[in-house]
Amino acid sequence: MKDGRIRVLIVDDSALVRQTLSEILSSDPAIEVMATASDPFVAAERIAQETPDVITLDIEMPRMDGLTFLRKIMAQHPIPVVICSSLTEEGAQSRLKALEYGAVDIIVKPRLGSRQFLEESRVTVCQAVRAAAAARVRAPSANRPVEPKLTADAVLARRSGAMLETTEKVVVVGASTGGTEALRTVLEALPADAPGIVIVQHMPELFTRAFADRLDGLCRISVKEAEPNDTILRGRALIAPGNYHLLVKRSGARYYVEIRDGPLVSRHRPSVDVLFRSAARYAGPNAVGVIMTGMGDDGASGMAEMKEAGAATIAQDEATSVVFGMPNEAIKRGAVDMVLPLPAIAASILAHAR
């Protein structure tokens, strides 16, 4: 960093987007727009002259696409990269590929709109760049063979007795920067009859469905983007849809989720604090809370409420976090029972859910 400020290289083929991003990022006194580039070839020239602290990168560009450029960066000169992309469902899978290839985060391109939208874009873009600058750039992770899922009948048979009791466990997980691959590590390690899981991962709308579908193909449990009134079931993880808050609710012995619109909470929508507070209220000692890698303090207050309500609380440790902000804030507030490396979290979830 130069003069303590984060130097950013903006790579996008749209002059309007480059200008808008430059204005947004320059409004943050901790960030300096070092240069802009209309395509990866121009970007490579800029990097050869001066190495940025963070790159914002579009996917669809002339001469060379962003994914190809990203793979070259990570192989030759790893630099924290934030994918800044248009909001399209068709392109969601390629954006998720970028996370596999080593990108730190995905954000939606700011567009002209209401004052509230532009202000939320400013918060999102600047926070993503700050988080990327603090991130540990990691090598892309490898896929492993996937064991067959249990059939629906088998899952129902395993949970039928437990759901009649009031001690059924609910696992709530919050993550942000670096969380997509961390979640993959945890969910891949869980057996097909693992306790029901509800997840908030800071991610734009439309991308969350593709992310859930990707995990569903990798894990023994089922993974889906949450829909209103989805029941929280053993062998299934529900992921908050982008741009909506997700809450745990309870009706008798049945736990289910509620999806809500509303303002940003702890600078996010969905917010981990909203999820954790709902778990504290409706699940109490039946809940297990996990806070993972991410920038900022979202989830720390909610986890404190969970611990006060008798829930078991787990934080990812610094060594395995891409960014230690969110876990560290929860730890500093005395909200965490256990601080664990990423590979140990799944086993701890299972132990507390027995």
Q: What is the pLDDT of residues 288-305, one digit of tens each?
A: 999 999 999 999 999 999
- Note the pLDDT tens digit of each residue in 110-130: 766 656 666 778 888 999 999
Report the run of H or E that residue 9 belongs to, with start and end. strand 6-11
- Dihedral (C-alpha) 60, 61, 63, 64: value to the nearest 10 degrees? -50
Give the chain's domains with CATH numbers: 6-134 (3.40.50.2300), 152-353 (3.40.50.180)
CA-based diameter of the chain, in Å?
Answer: 65
Distance, CA of 31 to CA of 320 (rounded, Å) = 26
* Residue 241 clears pLDDT 50, i.e. is over it: yes
Residue among 72, 126, 48, 73 at smallest CA distance from 296? 126
* Residue 259 clears pLDDT 50, i.e. is over it: yes
pLDDT (mean) for 59-67: 88
**Which pLDDT band holds residue 85 (cuts at 50, 70, 90)?**
confident
Q: Which of 39, 85, 202, 297 is catalytic?
A: 202
Q: What is the pLDDT of residue 160?
A: 38
Distance, CA of 149 to CA of 144 (rounded, Å) = 15
282 versus 90: which is more confidently predicted? 282
Instruction: For 291, list phi and psi in degrees, rounded to 5.
Output: -115, 130
Q: Is the link from the previous residue into 343 a cis peptide, with omega within 30 of 0?
A: no
* Residue 27 clears pLDDT 50, i.e. is over it: yes
Q: What is the pLDDT of residue 118?
A: 66
Q: Which of 176, 271, 301, 321 is catalytic?
A: 176
309 versus 151: which is more confidently predicted? 309
Distance, CA of 106 to CA of 81 (rounded, Å) = 9
pLDDT (mean) for 7-14: 96
Residue among 224, 225, 222, 187 at smallest CA distance from 205? 225
First CA to last CA across the chain, in angstroms? 48
Q: What is the pLDDT of residue 282?
A: 95
* 176 given a catalytic annotation: yes
Distance, CA of 240 to CA of 243 (rounded, Å) = 9
pLDDT (mean) for 324-339: 98
Q: What is the pLDDT of residue 43?
A: 95
* Residue 50 clears pLDDT 70, i.e. is over it: yes
Q: Regarding beta strands 245-251 and 254-260, do their DSSP bridges make them parallel or antiparallel, or are they unpaired?
A: antiparallel
pLDDT (mean) for 57-78: 90
Asked if 83 and 66 touch (Cβ cutoff 8 Å), the reply is yes
Distance, CA of 210 to CA of 334 (rounded, Å) = 35
Per-chain mean pLDDT for the chain: 89
Complete DSSP assignment for 12-78: -S-HHHHHHHHHHHHTSTTEEEEEEESSHHHHHHHHHHS--SEEEE-SS-SSS-HHHHHHHHHHHS-
* 268 given a catalytic annotation: no
pTM of the predicted structure, to 2 decimals = 0.81
Q: Which of 298, 301, 317, 352 is catalytic?
A: 298
Q: Which tokens belong to 215?
A: 């995990």
Beta bridge partners of 180: none
pLDDT (mean) for 309-322: 97
**C-beta neighbour count of 127 within 10 angstroms:** 20
- Note the pLDDT tens digit of each residue in 88-101: 655 677 778 888 88
Distance, CA of 336 to CA of 238 (rounded, Å) = 23
Q: What is the pLDDT of residue 149?
A: 54
pLDDT (mean) for 55-66: 90
Q: What is the pLDDT of residue 148?
A: 53
Asked if 204 and 108 touch (Cβ cutoff 8 Å), the reply is yes
* 202 given a catalytic annotation: yes
Q: What is the pLDDT of residue 144?
A: 52
How many Å separate Cα 318 from the centre of its chain? 17
Asked if 103 and 57 touch (Cβ cutoff 8 Å), the reply is yes
Asked if 256 and 229 touch (Cβ cutoff 8 Å), the reply is yes
143 versus 70: which is more confidently predicted? 70
